[in-house]
Amino acid sequence: MVDVLLVEDTDMQRALLRGFLSPEHTIVGIAETGEEAIREADRTAPDVVVMDVDLPGTDGIEATRAIKRASPDVAVVMSTAMVTAEIRDRATDAGADAYLTKPFSKDDLLATIDEACAR
């Protein structure tokens, strides 16, 4: 079981992810914007962040960069509906450990979290 910070700006996706993560993992925080994600990561010290790319304000890639700068050992799983080579390159440069393309299954999410945490 790992501590997860969930970063997603839509109610439906947050509810889906909460259902996927429980009871296998503990959700230690939820954020709806990149700025909130940075604050919550500092406050909760998660093992992994499930980070939406497309967030209002600071996007998920820039939030990942800030989180990894402050806590290099936290794993970050990027989540997006459209993974392009440019997004993947920017996310990798920011420190993302793994990627999920929406929609994804519970099994895909849990396996990706395990993979990211094992790095």
Residues 28-73: tens digit of each pLDDT = 999 999 999 999 999 999 999 999 999 999 999 999 999 999 999 9
Class of domain 2-118: alpha beta
The tally of CA atoms less than 13 A away on the side-chain side of residue 61 is 12
SS3 71: coil
Check whether 83 has a pLDDT greater than 80.
Answer: no
Neighbours of 50 (CB within 10 A): 27
- Give the pLDDT confidence score for residue 40 in this predicted structure: 98
Residue in 104, 97, 105, 85 with CA at minimum distance from that of residue 49: 97
Spatial separation of the C-alpha atoms in residues 101 and 66, rounded to whole Å: 22
> What's the pLDDT band for 84 if we cut at 50, 70, 90?
confident
Sheet with 48-52, side-by-side order of all strands: 26-31, 3-7, 48-52, 75-80, 98-101
- Give the pLDDT confidence score for residue 37 in this predicted structure: 98
Spatial separation of the C-alpha atoms in residues 55 and 105, rounded to whole Å: 21
Q: What is the mean pLDDT of the chain?
A: 95
* Percent of the chain clearing pLDDT 70 (strictly above): 100
